[in-house]
Every structure is written in structure tokens, then in C-alpha cells.
Structure 1
Amino acid sequence: MIQVQGLTKRYGPNTAVDALSFDVTPGAVTGFLGPNGSGKSTTMRMIMGLDRPDAGQALIGGRPYGELRQPLREVGALLEARTFHPGRSARAHLSALAAAGDIHPARVAEVLATVGLSDVAGRRAGTYSLGMAQRLGIAAALLGDPGVLLFDEPVNGLDPEGVRWIRDLMRSLAAEGRTVLLSSHLISEMALTADHLVVIGQGRLLADTSVRELTARGRSLEEAFFTLTEGASVHRGTAHHAGHDAAPERNAR
């Protein structure tokens, strides 16, 4: 489970994330939506311990990322596509990660097959297209077989077949009981992939609700999203949290 509690991040006079709180629970794909510059990537970086918050905290299984005993086995993340040495092959890149994380070398071939890169695993990763680089990043996220996964814009550079593959992969990972947080700017695709949604704007929580509730009364997800982010109306949604029989409603801001 991911718990974001009062998370705040400032850059000089600008507040990128403003007292943000939400939970991401196992067994569902939680979509993370917001306009460009709304603080999504900054929030995910703070969850992964890459940026230090000015206030609040982000916990994974009750602990900050930096306190996890075996982080690659507990959390996998794709935050940027090309986080590899361009001169290394995909196989060498994943093998180095496996060695650093005390992960069995056999997992390298398994995740390469999962993401469809087995046939090009010996090529230098620097020659990969953006879509292939995204697949390699997903392979790295899956390497330790973690229970918690974060993906920031994983469909970038993928063709329609690749986008559909991502959709099926996200849903299958959630069906296995994993915690999946997925950020994407493709609202129509999020409508097909996510079960639950966290929507933010200007670093603040706008909605924490299910896709079904947000699209009630015949609205498309795109219509509901623009209504929220333009501040034209207030949405009232029910947040579903593991271990709570009757979760309180959360007001959109």
C-alpha cells in the first residue's frame, strides 16, 4: 500500500505539491491524473525517495522508501524511459540491476520475455526507440517481482498495439494483488485501464474516487476531468481503502 500524507514540495516561491494526501491500495489500478505541471511527477519522485518533501511523508508498506530492506523486491518504478547506460545491452543493464538487488539472474530473461524484448536483448540500449526504451524501463520495474509498482507515462512512444499491451499488463498486475499507480495524459486510455482515480491540480487533491463514480450521470471521463481541473464544479467521491468498511467521502477541492 502507498500512503501519501500531507505531502508538500516547494521550489523557491512556487509550491509544486500542496498538502497532498491519498492512498493507493492493492488489487486495483489507480490512475493519477492532472494537467501538465500539476505535480504528478514530483509526487511520484517523492514516493520513490528521489525528492525530499518540505512537509508530510510518503510511505510504502508503512515505511519511507529509503527504509525498505530490499527496495527492488518491494517497489518497481518507471519514472523516466532512458535511465540506462546507452552503451550497455538491455540484458547487461538488467543483469547489473539484478546483481545489485540480490535478484536471481533468471529473472532477466523472464522480464525481457514479458516486455517483448528477448529478440533484441543483446542490442545496445542506446539504439532503442522510445517505445523500446519504455519496455526496458518496465522490465526493470518488474525485475524484483515487487508488490508495489509506479509508472509515469508508460505509454509514451508506444504504438496502438503497445498501448493496448500496457493496458492489459497494468490490469493483470493489479489482478495479482499488486498495488499499481499509473500516471498518464491519455484520459481515454485511463478510462479503459484504471479502477480508481486520484486527480490533482496545482499540487492539490481534486478527486479521490472510482472511475464509475466520476463518470456517473453519463459523463465521459474527459468531460469529468476538465470540469474538475477547470474548477467549474465540485465532485464528491467515495474513496475505497483496504481495511475500511465505510470510508468517508472526500471533497474535491
Structure 2
Amino acid sequence: MIEVNHLTKRYRGGTAVDDLTFTVEPGRVTGFLGPNGAGKSTTIRMVLGLDRPTAGSALIGGRQYAEFKRPLTAVGALLEASDLHPGRSARDHLLWLAASNGLGRKRVQEVLEETGLSEAAGKRVRAFSLGMRQRLGIAAALLGDPGVLILDEPVNGLDPEGVIWVRNLAKRLAGEGRTVLVSSHLMAEMALTASHLVVIGRGRLLADLPTEEFVSAHSGANLEEAFMRLTSESVQYRAGGAR
């Protein structure tokens, strides 16, 4: 379980995340939604220990991310797919990650096959398309066979076949009892993928409920309409660094 408790992040000139509280439970795909500047990426970075909160806490299985000695075996995360060493091959990138967490070469081959990168494993990342970089990022997230997956815009750059693959992957992982949090701005895809939604706006919690209930509660014919009706009512946010 991911537990976000009164999480706050202030920058000079503004507040990116404002007293945010929610949980992400295992066994279901939770969609993490919000307009640009809502604070989604900042929240995820605090959950992963990449940003320090001004107040509150973010726990994974009751622990802070920094407390895991082999973090890839506990939490798999996809953030910026472009944040990869361009001179390394896909295989070498994964081997380096595996070695840092005490994982064997066999697991590297398994995730290359699972993500459809076996034939491209020897190619340098600089030659990868955005979609291939996304697949490599997902392979890295799966490397430690973690119980918690955090995927930020996982279908960005993927073709329709890849989008369906990510959708089915997220559902399968949740069906295995894992905790799956997917952040996305693609409402149609979230409607097909997530059974539960956490929606934030201006750094604050706007909704935390099953997808069907969310749509019904906001009189939307679909998720996109319901989302727009909710978030359009948010007060204009102060200047400051929300992402």
C-alpha cells in the first residue's frame, strides 16, 4: 500500500502540493489524475524520495522509500523515459540496475522479453524511439518483480498495440495483488485501465473513489467530461513550481 499523509511541498513563491492525503491499495489499478500543474509529478517524486516534503509523509508498505536496501525489489517506477544514458545498450542499462540491487542476468532477459525488447537489447539507447524508451523504462520498473508499481504517463509515445499492452500489463499486475498507480492525462485510456481514481487539482485532493462512482457523481457521460467538470471548478493556482 502507498500511504500519502498530509503531504505538502512548498517552493519559494507557491505551494505545489497542499496537505494531500490518500492511499493506493493493492489489487487494483489506481489512476492518478489532474490537470497540468496539479502537483502529480511532485507527489510521485516525494513518494519515491526524490523530493523532500515540506510537511507530511509518503510511505510504501509503512516505510519511506529510502529505507529499502534493495528498492527495485519493493517498488518499480517509470518517470522520465528520456532520462537514460544514451551510450548504453538496453541490456547494459538493465544489467547495471540489476547489479545495483543484487539481481541476476536471467531476470534481465526475462523483462527484455516481457517488454518486447529482446531483438533491440544490444542497441544503444540513443537510437531508440520514444516508444522504445518507454518500454525500456517499464522493463526497469519490472526488473525487481516489485509489489508496488508507479507509472507516470506510461503510454506516452507508444503505438496503439503498445497502449493496449500497457493497459493489460497494469491490470494483470493488479490482478496478482500488486499495488499499481498510473498517472496519466489520457482520460479515455484511464477509463479502460483504472478501477479507482485519485484526482488532484492545485495540489489538493479533489476526488478519491471508484471510477464508475466518479463519473456518476459528476454527471459525466464519460470520464473526460466528469474530469473536466470537476477540475474546471478549481481555484486558479498561485505561481510556483507545481508539476
**Residue number in structure 2 paired with 1:2:** 2
Match for 1:227: what amino acid? Answer: R
Q: Residues of 1 paired with 2:230 and 2:81: CA distance? A: 29
SS at match of 2:107: helix
Question: Match of 1:129?
Answer: 129
Residue 248 of structure 1 corresponds to which residue in structure 2? none
In structure 2, the partner of 1:146 is 146
- In structure 2, the CA distance between the partners of 1:202 and 1:120, relative to structure 1 (3 Å rule), is same
User: 5 Å matches for 1:63-142?
Assistant: 63-142=63-142
2:184 is aligned with 1:189: no
Measure, in 2, the Cα distance between the counterparts of 1:102 and 1:84: 20
- Hey, what does 2:226 align to over in structure 1? 224
| 2: CA distance, partners of 1:29 / 1:73 | 19
Shift of the alpha carbon at 1:117? 0.4
Q: Distance in 2 between matches of 1:196 and 1:69?
A: 30
Q: After superposition, give the CA deviation of every residue in 1:200-245 in whole Å (9 maximum; x if it has no partner).
A: 000000000000101225631111101110128xxxxxxxxxxxxx
Does structure 1 residue 213 correspond to structure 2 residue 236? Answer: no
**Aligned amino acid, residue 161 of structure 2:** E
Q: State the distance in 1 between where 2:87 and 2:138 align.
A: 19
- How far apart are the structure 2 equivalents of 1:225 and 1:218? 8
Residue 125 of structure 1 aligns with an amino acid whose one-letter code is V
Match of 1:49 in 2: 49
Paired residues of 1:6 and 1:57 also in contact (CA < 8 A): yes
Partner of 2:239: none
Gaps of 5+ in 1: 233-253
In the TM superposition, structure 1's runs of 4+ consecutive aligned residues that sit over 6 Å from their partners are: none
| CA RMSD in angstroms, aligned pairs only | 1.0
- Counterpart Cα distance in 1 of 2:105 and 2:61: 26
Moved more, 39-48 or 157-166: 157-166
Return the offset for 1:191. 0.2
* Preserved CA contact (<8 Å) 2:220 2:226: no
Secondary structure of 2:119's aligned partner: helix
CA distance in structure 1 between the aligned counterparts of 2:68 and 2:95, rounded to whole angstroms: 21
For 2:22 and 2:45, locate their aligned partners in 1 and report how far apart those are by CA, in whole Å: 15
* TM-score of the pair, normalised by structure 1: 0.90
For each residue in 1:102-125, what CA deviation from the matched residue of structure 2 results, as whole angstroms up to 9, or x when unmatched? Answer: 012200000001110000000001
Matched residue type, 1:202: R
RCO comparison, higher one (Cα < 8 Å, 6+): 2
Structure 2 CA distance, aligned partners of 1:40 and 1:19? 13
Identity among equivalent positions (%) equals 66
For the residues of structure 2 that align with 1:174 and 1:199, how far apart are their CA atoms?
19
Q: Decide whether the 8 Å contact of 1:154 with 1:166 is kept in 2.
A: yes
Please give the alpha-carbon distance, in whole angstroms, between the structure 2 residues aligned to 1:52 and 1:218: 37
Assess if the C-alpha contact under 8 Å between 1:83 and 1:137 holds in 2: no
Amino acid of the structure 1 residue aligned with 2:11: Y
Q: How far does the alpha carbon of each residue in 1:31-73 deviate from its partner, in whole angstroms, 9 at most, with x for none?
A: 0000001000000000000000000000000011011232110
Unpaired stretches in structure 2, ≥5 consecutive residues: 235-243
Q: TM-score, normalised by structure 2?
A: 0.94
